[in-house]
A and B are shown apart, each in its own frame.
Chain A
């Protein structure tokens, strides 16, 4: 037990040190920031999909509402950025609570309904009639709050916390219960697990992560339009990274994000045609040969993947 705690602590420390030192070796801080954003988002997807089996295509809704929530708290109520980020997370949790009846659905129905819900939130936020509140389609400008260095280190802290939360879930009775529910919800209920409550709790944790990360993204970016933070591609990236690495593990989604997002930034921008070809091939190969992600390569050999 003690050894496991040391391993967990070591993982968190390695992640923190890697991203604190990375700007010394690689000058594109924006890319590093966005990589952290996607690692955290893929862990949020991981909590929901990897542990409960619910695939949230509309996950970007929490990210977008977090970005807007945090920004509006800074602009309208003059909240300090770090507090506003937490506020963004809280607003995402409230949205999660509002959308929790979606968890009555499952499989493709849930995936599509969550996507529709995220688009509904996008349409409300970007509605010109709400210009006085959300700035409608004209976007957000956080000029006086802009602080790329501080926001970078705050994102490192958010990432460390996210990794710690996933590690805790993996080791805890709560996490085992979530996996039991994913395998068979009826049997889990008979085992005494309050299925609806536990699943809703996982949904809220996942929403909170996306909300806070969305707030951090808004703070770092400082000027953005609604479609930038409600873009479906954010959900798709987070889901693909998670599936590529291996849902239900901590290191799988982390590995998936570093490899695929790294690849996206090396060849996706300079040679988008080759990038799309390679990406497409990778996903086809993944679905055909490694449906449980890259982590399953190690698991098949009997290696435990954290």
Chain B
């Protein structure tokens, strides 16, 4: 099973949570404690080790916030 690592350009995030909705592993969530300079809630990865590098989150992100790297298992 491929493994993935996510990088976020948080200052561009608008907290729209489309990534949260479409992550098949359900490991993304809005971080209620942290906001970016524009005042939007950031995204946090609940269980990074369960990311499968499918990039659904990045595909659905309107603002190109997420970079997805496939890492060896």
- Are A and B part of the same complex? no
* Residues in B lying within 8 Å of A, measured CB to CB: none
* Residues in A lying within 8 Å of B, measured CB to CB: none
